[in-house]
């Protein structure tokens, strides 16, 4: 019998170590979940993988996901680990499910179903509630045994709902007692291991029945009070779906108050043909904040921001006040509303005077049916685009191609040091899209096809860069002592499939999903979780609930 000296050896790989340095050939040995040797590794192992020159990189770090509910029923965190993600941050935009008293569970899920485009029946059927506090939620995830590492943000809207109940979406000012309770919940979450605090001021974030998500009506004073636990703990970061209220200067003031890094998520920092210089201006203002000693970063999505939708669920139009009637209506009443000239005229006024930070500004060439722009279809029919649009059956499928669609305009944003590659929204909007493979898309399009990034720099931007900015230790690099989060892939074929529909959510709900291409294996903490085709049948996943972060 051979003497086993290592748990795993990956032999003959082209190592892209996540540092941004040159690639090199060699072996990688793994023991007890960590990398123990790099170079020419002698001896044997329980698992020996012959890489045959394939590239070996650290696992992708996805800092913008919404697996909060799915994690309670799906330890694989499908599809992210299959697409190379080994560490995921949940709780983004301030929308989560913990802390949550028993009497607010349905409210939490109903809001999630709308604001994050989730199947409500799947949420109500699948979510397992073995917790009320944030620390109990983290413990439940540990018992589940996720396939990827998980770091959790504690959310403003979640905490507001937990304390204020139904009033959270209608009353802008909490009582002093309520504010004190919310602040204590943030403090307890940070002490329990939350990676930070998240909120939203975005006008695009509406909850169930058209009501605003709770944090979007909160005052500046409330937000600053809830961020003080970050300052007290001297750890954690703040992430905000900022909208027009959360300017770079405003977010810099929050960074100055707390001494903590701040991350903004906004369409205003995405390339838009209607205002091609605006996004670059946001990055520049954030760079100036860093020069003053205040870290303000932007979530930069490398893929075009496109949405599949129908008029039965036109969530990307909800930020226009004409759609207040739609959000509050039953499905049976929608045709009547869409046919109403008063509704259409109100929508026209919205488009003529659009609010900052909305998704759709009225360019009908960006919305397509069967790959034909609505503007052209309306012209052929001799109709005004608004009238043509609302005369179609409410289940007509459209694709809206709204932001990040011009490579020449997007490339400088992706290269900017104040950006962090993110915004997969993995776990959310499953009815319409699946951008969980943002990292594979980046390696395919921005590294191989356009050569905007070298392989070494592209891998750095997907791995050590987000890990460092989010203060996640031991991740994002192939180095001695680092956790063995790894992806083995072919740089010449790496990518992802077209969208595929599956009916595999709890209760038989459907979702859109993508499959990896050119991926030959994914390891989390030294355990292979996916072989490039299927998840491995592990009784419990090797992912860790991350609770220790660098200052």
Inform me whether the pLDDT recorded for 358 exceeds 90: no
Cα separation, 461 vs 205, whole angstroms: 28
| One domain for residues 168 and 283 | yes
pLDDT for residue 309 is more than 90: no
3-class state of residue 339 by DSSP? helix
Place 439 in a pLDDT band, splitting at 50, 70 and 90.
Answer: very high
Looking at the fold, whether 267 and 356 belong to one and the same domain comes out as no
Query: What's the full length of the chain, in residues?
Result: 551
Helix (H) or strand (E) holding 313: none
Percentage of the chain beyond pLDDT 90 is 87
- Give the residue among 509, 515, 514 at the shortest CA–CA distance from 117: 509
- Which 8-state DSSP code applies to residue 354? P
pLDDT, average across residues 291-300: 98
**What pLDDT shows up at residue 3?**
54
Residue 354 has pLDDT above 90, yes or no: no
Domain for residue 3, yes or no?
A: no
- The DSSP bridge partners found for residue 502 are 511
Identify whether residues 289 and 168 lie together within a single domain. yes
Q: Would you say residue 40 lies in a domain?
A: no
Higher confidence at residue 307 or residue 534?
534
Give the DSSP letter of residue 497.
P
- The Cα–Cα gap between 346 and 354 comes to 12
- For the chain, the domain total comes to 2
Judge if 117 and 233 occupy the same domain: yes
- Six-digit token string for 219: 């005052």
* pLDDT value of position 526: 98
- Determine, yes or no, domain membership for 502: yes
The pLDDT of residue 359 is above 90:
no
Query: Residue 30: beta bridge partners?
Result: 8, 35
**104 shares a domain with 87:** yes
CA angle 82, 430, 507 (to 5 degrees): 95
Query: What is the rounded distance in angstroms from the CA atom of residue 186 to the CA atom of residue 6?
Result: 42
For the record, the structure tokens of 145 come out as: 């045994």
Q: H or E stretch including 465?
A: helix 464-469
Average pLDDT over residues 388-406: 92
- Give the model confidence (pLDDT) of 465-498 as tens digits: 999 999 999 999 999 999 999 999 999 999 999 9
DSSP, residue by residue, 10-77 = EEEEEE--SSSS--EEEEEEEETTEEEEEES--SEEEEEEE-TT-EEEEPEEE--B--TTGGGT-TT-
**What's the whole-number mean pLDDT along residues 138-155?**
98
DSSP state of 459: H
* Rounded CA separation 206/112 (Å): 9
In a domain, 47, yes or no: no
Secondary structure (3-state) at 254? helix
Note whether 262 and 216 are within 8 A (CB). Answer: no
Cβ(501)–Cβ(431) under 8 Å?
no
Do 211 and 109 have their domain in common? yes
Indicate the average pLDDT of the chain: 95
pLDDT the model gives residue 6: 97
Q: What is the pLDDT of residue 315?
A: 80
Please check the confidence at residue 2 and state whether its pLDDT lies above 70. Answer: no
Lowest mean pLDDT segment, chosen from 214-223, 299-308, 516-525: 299-308
Residues 246 and 196 in one domain: yes
Q: Taking 70 as the threshold, does the pLDDT of residue 202 lie above it?
A: yes
* 79 preceded by a cis bond (ω within 30 of 0): yes
- The answer as to whether 530 is a domain residue is no
Q: What does the pLDDT read at residue 54?
A: 98
Give the separation between CA 481 and CA 479, rounded to whole angstroms.
6
| Residue 541 in this model has a pLDDT that exceeds 50 | yes
Range of 333's domain? 316-401
Q: What does the pLDDT read at residue 120?
A: 94
Q: State residue 1's pLDDT score.
A: 38
Residue 527 lies in a domain: no
In a domain, 111, yes or no: yes
Residue 72 near residue 152 (C-beta atoms within 8 A)? no
Token pair in block for residue 222: 């409330």
Residue 226 and residue 216: Cα distance in Å, rounded?
14
The arithmetic mean of pLDDT across residues 39-57, rounded, is: 96
Q: Provide long-range contacts, Cβ within 8 A and 24+ apart, for 330-339.
A: 331/394, 334/394, 335/394, 338/311, 338/390, 338/394, 339/390
Question: What are the start-end ranges of the E strands in 156-261?
Answer: 196-200, 237-241
270 lies in the same domain as 331: no
- Rounded mean pLDDT, 320-324: 93
Residue with tokens 């992912």: 543
| Separation between Cα atoms, residue 220 and residue 472, nearest integer Å | 29
Same domain, 233 and 350: no
Q: Are residues 371 and 467 in the same domain?
A: no
Rounded to the nearest 10°, the torsion over CA 253, 255, 257, 259 is: -150
Residue where a domain terminates, one of 401, 419, 451? 401
pTM score, whole prediction = 0.92
Q: Which of 44-58, 301-315, 418-432 has the highest mean pLDDT?
A: 44-58
Cβ distance 48 to 492 under 8 Å?
no
**Residue among 77, 60, 76, 80 nearest 68 (CA):** 77
User: Mean pLDDT, to the nearest integer, of 45-67?
Assistant: 97
pLDDT digits (tens, 9 = 90+) for 14-33: 999 999 999 999 999 999 99
- Please, how many CA atoms are within 13 Å of residue 352, restricted to the half-sphere of its CB? 7
Q: Taking the mean position of all CA atoms in its chain, how far away is CA 88?
A: 9
- Residue-wise pLDDT for 249-259, tens only, equals 999 999 999 99
- Domain contains 128: yes
Question: Do 522 and 84 meet the contact criterion of CB atoms below 8 Å apart?
Answer: yes
- Is the pLDDT at 52 greater than 50, yes or no? yes
Last residue of a domain, one of 363, 380, 401: 401
Q: And the tokens for 460? A: 């750095």
What CATH number is attached to the domain comprising 282?
3.20.20.140
Distance of CA 64 to the CA centre of its chain: 3
Predicted confidence (pLDDT) per residue in 92-126, tens digit: 999 999 999 999 999 999 999 988 989 999 999 99
Whether residue 280 sits in one domain with residue 325: no
Same domain, 297 and 329: no
CB 396 within 8 A of CB 390: no
| pLDDT attached to residue 4 | 67
Residues near 512 by beta carbon (within 8 Å), at least 6 away in sequence: 308, 430, 431, 432, 433, 434, 499, 500, 501, 502
Mean of the pLDDT values across residues 316-344? Answer: 93
- Give me the sign of the Cα torsion angle 354, 357, 361, 367: negative
- pLDDT at position 36 over 60: yes
The per-type count for the chain, helices as H runs and strands as E runs, is 17, 24
Tokens of 447: 């590294």
């Amino acid at each position: 019998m051979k003497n086993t000296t290592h748990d795993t050896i990956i032999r003959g790989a082209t190592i892209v170590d996540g540092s941004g340095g040159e690639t090199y050939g060699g072996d990688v040995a793994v023991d007890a979940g960590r990398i123990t040797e790099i170079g020419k590794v002698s001896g044997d192992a329980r698992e020996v993988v012959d890489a045959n020159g394939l590239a070996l990189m650290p696992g992708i770090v996805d800092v913008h996901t919404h697996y909060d509910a799915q994690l309670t029923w799906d330890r694989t965190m499908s599809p992210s680990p299959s697409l190379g993600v080994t560490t995921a941050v949940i709780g983004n935009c301030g929308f989560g499910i913990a802390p949550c008293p028993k009497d607010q569970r349905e409210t939490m899920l109903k809001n999630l179903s709308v604001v994050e485009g989730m199947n409500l029946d799947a949420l109500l059927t699948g979510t397992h509630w073995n917790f009320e506090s944030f620390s109990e939620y983290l413990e439940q995830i540990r018992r589940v045994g996720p396939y990827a590492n998980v770091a959790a943000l504690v959310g403003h809207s979640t905490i507001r709902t937990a304390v204020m109940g139904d009033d959270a979406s209608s009353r802008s000012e909490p009582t002093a007692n309520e504010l004190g309770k919310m602040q204590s919940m943030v403090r307890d979450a940070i002490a329990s291991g939350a990676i930070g605090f998240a909120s939203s001021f975005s006008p695009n974030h509406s909850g169930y029945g058209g009501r605003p998500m709770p944090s979007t009506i909160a005052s500046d004073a409330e937000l600053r009070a809830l961020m003080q636990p970050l300052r007290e703990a001297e750890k954690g970061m703040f992430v905000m779906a900022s909208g027009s209220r959360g300017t770079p200067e405003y977010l810099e003031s929050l960074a100055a108050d707390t001494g903590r890094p701040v991350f903004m998520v906004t369409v205003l920092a995405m390339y838009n043909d209607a205002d091609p210089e605006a996004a670059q201006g946001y990055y520049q203002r954030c760079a100036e904040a860093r020069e003053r000693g205040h870290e303000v970063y932007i979530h930069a999505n490398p893929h075009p921001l496109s949405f599949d939708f129908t008029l039965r669920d036109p969530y990307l139009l909800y930020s226009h006040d004409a759609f207040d009637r739609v959000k509050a209506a039953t499905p049976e009443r929608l045709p009547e509303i869409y046919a109403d000239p008063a509704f259409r005229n109100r929508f026209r006024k919205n488009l003529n005077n659009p609010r900052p930070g909305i998704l759709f500004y009225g360019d009908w060439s960006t919305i397509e049916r069967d790959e034909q722009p609505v503007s052209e279809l309306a012209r052929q029919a001799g109709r005004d685009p608004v009238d043509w649009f609302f005369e179609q059956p409410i289940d007509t499928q459209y694709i809206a191609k709204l932001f990040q669609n011009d490579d020449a305009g997007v490339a400088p944003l992706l290269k900017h040091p104040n950006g962090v590659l993110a915004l997969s929204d993995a776990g959310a909007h499953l009815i319409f899209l699946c951008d969980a493979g943002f990292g594979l898309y980046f390696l395919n399009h921005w590294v191989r096809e356009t050569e905007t990034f070298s392989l070494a720099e592209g891998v750095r931007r997907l791995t050590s860069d987000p890990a460092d900015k989010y203060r996640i230790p031991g991740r994002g690099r192939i180095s001695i002592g680092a956790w063995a989060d790894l992806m083995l892939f072919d740089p010449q074929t790496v990518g992802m499939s077209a969208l595929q529909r599956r009916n595999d959510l709890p209760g038989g709900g459907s979702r859109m999903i993508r499959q990896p291409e050119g991926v030959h294996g994914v390891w989390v903490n030294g355990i292979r979780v996916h072989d490039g085709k299927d998840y491995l049948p592990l009784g419990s996943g090797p992912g860790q609930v991350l609770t220790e972060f660098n200052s």
